[in-house]
């Protein structure tokens, strides 16, 4: 391979030279428009994002705690004195609930980042027996990517219903939307986590 001398390098046209040249050739086209045309193809997500958590981490640390907040917002507790209904009352309570619901909704996008691994090598993804190990989950997701994306979108759609109920401060609607969210969790889990589970759903 020829060695590039320092001289060749310094003789290379600079970015400024090139843009001047382009301006000479296309005097009528504003430079900003040229730049916009060049940057239209966006980089693939594999180079754009930097996944840090595994899918399992996201389930445990982002999805689960935030959805629990949503599910627990409307509850009834039976005691000796009777049934106590719990639902958000104050503006602050609704606002706090909204923060958790919004985090849940956007966590769906984290699940869509492509080069994220399912779990660390020795992590256990199986608590009962019907659950797959992380390598098999990974393969299943890769070979059924469209379904997987669909499942994530279902979770996000259900969570949008939660957000709408919160914005209306409607506890009954919130409870119903919470059920839709649970259904979306279950649909993805039964396809990608424990597809061999033959128990009736």
Select from 148, 161, 162, 171 the one that contacts ligand HEC (CB under 6 A): 148
Size of interface with ligand HEC, in residues (CB under 6 A): 23
Q: Which of 125, 162, 171, 177 binds ligand HEC (CB under 6 A)?
A: 125
Give the end-to-end CA distance of the chain in Å, rounded to a whole number: 65
Q: Which stretch binds ligand HEC (CB under 6 A): 15-23, 74-82, 162-170, 189-197?
A: 189-197
- What contacts 152, CB < 8 A, 6 or more positions away? 108, 111, 112, 188
Q: Is 161 in the site for ligand HEC (CB under 6 A)?
A: no
Cα radius of gyration (the chain)? 26
- What's the closest the beta carbon of residue 1 comes to ligand HEC, in angstroms? 48
Q: How far apart are CA 101 and CA 174, in angstroms?
A: 11
Q: Which x/- pattern, by CB under 6 A, does the window 69-108 give for ligand HEC?
A: ----------------------------------------
Written as six digits, the tokens of 11 are 């003789």
Kindly state whether residue 111 participates in binding ligand HEC, applying the rule CB under 6 A. Answer: yes
Q: Would you say 170 or 190 has its CB closer to ligand HEC? A: 190
Choose, by CB under 6 A, the member of 74, 97, 155, 166 that binds ligand HEC.
155
The answer to whether the CB of 155 falls within 8 A of the CB of 188 is: yes
Of 56, 174, 184, give the one whose Cα is nearest residue 126: 56
Residue at token pair 């001398």: 5
181 touches 155 (CB < 8 A): yes
- Token pair for 18: 């090139």
* Minimum separation from the CB atom of position 119 to ligand HEC (A): 6
Binding segment for ligand HEC (CB under 6 A), chosen from 9-17, 20-28, 150-158, 162-170, is: 150-158
Handedness of CA 66, 67, 68, 74 (dihedral sign): positive
What part of residues 41-70 is at the interface with ligand HEC (CB under 6 A)?
A: 55-56, 59-60, 63-64, 67
Phi-psi domain of 129 (left: phi exceeds 0; alpha: psi -120 through 50; beta: other)? left
Query: Which spans of this chain sit near ligand HEC (rule: CB under 6 A)?
Result: 55-56, 59-60, 63-64, 67, 111, 118-119, 125, 137, 148, 151-152, 155, 181, 184-185, 188-189, 192-193
């Amino acid at each position: 391979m020829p060695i590039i001398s320092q001289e060749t390098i310094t003789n290379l046209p600079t970015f400024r030279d090139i843009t001047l040249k382009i301006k000479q050739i296309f005097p009528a086209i504003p430079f900003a428009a040229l730049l916009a045309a060049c940057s239209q193809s966006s980089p693939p997500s594999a180079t754009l994002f930097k996944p840090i958590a595994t899918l399992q981490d996201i389930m445990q640390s982002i999805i689960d705690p935030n959805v629990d907040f949503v599910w627990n917002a409307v509850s009834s507790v039976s005691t000796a004195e009777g049934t106590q209904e719990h639902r958000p009352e104050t503006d602050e309570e609704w606002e706090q609930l909204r923060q958790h619901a919004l985090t849940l909704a956007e966590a769906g996008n984290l699940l869509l980042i492509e080069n994220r691994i399912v779990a660390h090598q020795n992590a256990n993804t199986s608590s009962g027996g019907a659950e797959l190990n992380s390598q098999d989950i990974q393969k299943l997701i890769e070979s059924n990517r469209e379904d997987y994306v669909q499942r994530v979108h279902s979770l996000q759609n259900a969570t949008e219903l939660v957000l709408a109920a919160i914005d209306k401060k409607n506890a009954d609607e919130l409870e119903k939307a919470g059920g839709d969210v649970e259904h979306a969790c279950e649909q993805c889990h039964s396809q990608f986590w424990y597809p061999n589970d033959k128990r009736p759903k």
